[in-house]
Amino acid sequence: MFTGSYVALVTPMMDNGDIDYPALEKLVQFHIDHGTHGIVSVGTTGESTTLPFDEHVQVVKQTVKMAQGRIPVVAGSGANSTAEAIFLTEQLADAGVDGFLSVVPYYNKPQQRGMIAHFTAIADASDLPIILYNVPGRTVADMLPETVAELATHNNIVGLKDATGDIARLKQTQPLVPDNFVMLSGDDATSCEFLCEGGHGVISVTANVVPEAMAKMCDAALQGDFATCKEIDNTINELHTGLFIEPNPVMPKWALYKMGMMRTAHLRLPMVAPELASKNQIEAILKKYALIAG
């Protein structure tokens, strides 16, 4: 479990900010139909930082209900407060999720010992598997390979989403963790190289827009067909860049809106709609890939 292409799913919203559950169901079906291996519900791409707890829990529960066991669902349950992360984990323990994704606490800048204490406390709060998430570009704090190795000794901590974009970090971590510890790329631009160097999959923003391509890229790499993995990646690399020209999830939401997958591209403040130049740039890429008419 937790190998292949997991989509970091956006949370669709109406213009008034309410969750658009019909659009969410459409997105879940879209991923099932196009081979996505799993869904991450209300991770940071799903705007977890601006959804209140009750809404966060409800979106995850509805995603599980919509998936109907046809595809694994991992719940985002991270927070910069350990108590809040434990609360979310406990609230979602009986939601039918297959595991949790928990991000390094943001803003606090915890020490490595603080990260170990934080994630150990969360892992002790549930019997479900937990994937660590290191994204220092967003959290500032960077979880080092030795810290990952110590946390990997906990029975419930089963993997790492590495969004450093540094393949050297993957190579530093691999010898320190068990063979069955899942290494997942959280950086689409380097995900192909990550897979070819022994990674087990991705938690992908790009998969929101081209789920079939990301799934096939992962399948190829996991089968040892690195030439096909690279070939597929070369066909979608402009999306890897275009979807990040403004802070995530601004551009994937706009892309999905233009593709007719969502009725609006609404974001919770403080995130706002992309600039006109950004809209034009991503729409040109979508037209190039025949994802919208043009």
**Binding-site positions:** 45, 203
How big is the chain, counted in residues? 294
Tokens 């991270």, located at residue: 78
**Helices within the chain (DSSP H only):** 21-33, 53-67, 82-91, 112-124, 136-139, 145-151, 167-173, 191-196, 211-222, 226-242, 250-258, 276-288
Q: Is 161 one of the catalytic residues?
A: yes
Catalytic one of 6, 61, 106, 133? 133
**Contact present, 190 and 202 (Cβ < 8 Å):** no
Side chain identity, residue 292: I
111's CB contacts (< 8 A; 6+ apart) are none
Per the annotation, where are the binding residues for pyruvate?
Answer: 45, 203
Q: Is 133 one of the catalytic residues?
A: yes
Helix (H) or strand (E) holding 273: none
- Euclidean distance between CA atoms 166 and 182, whole angstroms: 17
Catalytic one of 6, 61, 106, 161? 161
Q: Residue 134 has which token pair?
A: 């290191």
Q: How far apart are the first and last CA of the chain?
A: 39
95's CB contacts (< 8 A; 6+ apart) are 57, 60, 61, 64, 75
Side chain identity, residue 129: P
Sign of the torsion angle spanned by Cα atoms 11, 15, 18, 19:
negative
- Euclidean distance between CA atoms 124 and 116, whole angstroms: 12
Q: State the catalytic residues.
A: 133, 161
